[in-house]
Amino acid sequence: DEHPYVPDFLNLYEHIPANKKLYISGYFQKHEYVKHIREELLEDFKLNYLLDDTSNKLLKDIVACAEEKKAEDILALDVSKTTTLSKYFVICSASNSIQVKSITENIRDNVKEDVWRIEGYEHLNWVIIDYIDVVVHIFLDDIRKYYNLERIWFDAKKVEI
């Protein structure tokens, strides 16, 4: 019988990085050879690609919560190729500390994932909400301009949401 993840695997094959494609393609050339995919390849696929869906949903939920409270200049960056700290950064701004607080609370209260750590909530000029896979930076406008994380993470890919 065909493994339940095989159809998903085939649909996502085109999105797999080239180095893994070469490794995987050695095990099958056409659809009929899928049964011969080794179990560790399926495990690798499940860990790296199916779990990505969880991170993507988390990213979308965070951005939706920030938009709901009128966060400005929302930017999502895929930092997974540049750091092991996280998969994504979300950077956004607010014009005053009340709005920073509102955005922070809306994300914290409405995102289903557990927050690992929140930093800066006591000062409300730069709040970091760390979900491990996604780290959210909520800035006052002037503080964002000063630290300019976009410049520091210039090589990270922008994510369209």
Find where tokens 């994510």 sit: 159
Strand order in the sheet with 134-140: 117-119, 126-130, 134-140, 88-94, 72-78, 157-158
Highest-confidence range of 50-54, 73-77, 85-89, by mean pLDDT?
73-77
Reduce the DSSP state of residue 4 to 3 states and report it: coil
Residue at token pair 């509102």: 102
Give the range among 36-40, 53-57, 104-108, 121-125 with minimum mean pLDDT.
Answer: 36-40
* Stretch 41-49: mean pLDDT: 48
- pLDDT higher than threshold 60 for residue 72: yes
d(CA 129, CA 144): 15
The residue-averaged pLDDT of 129-140 equals: 93
pTM: 0.68
Query: What value does the mean pLDDT of the chain take?
Result: 77
Q: How far is CA 159 from the centre of its chain?
A: 9
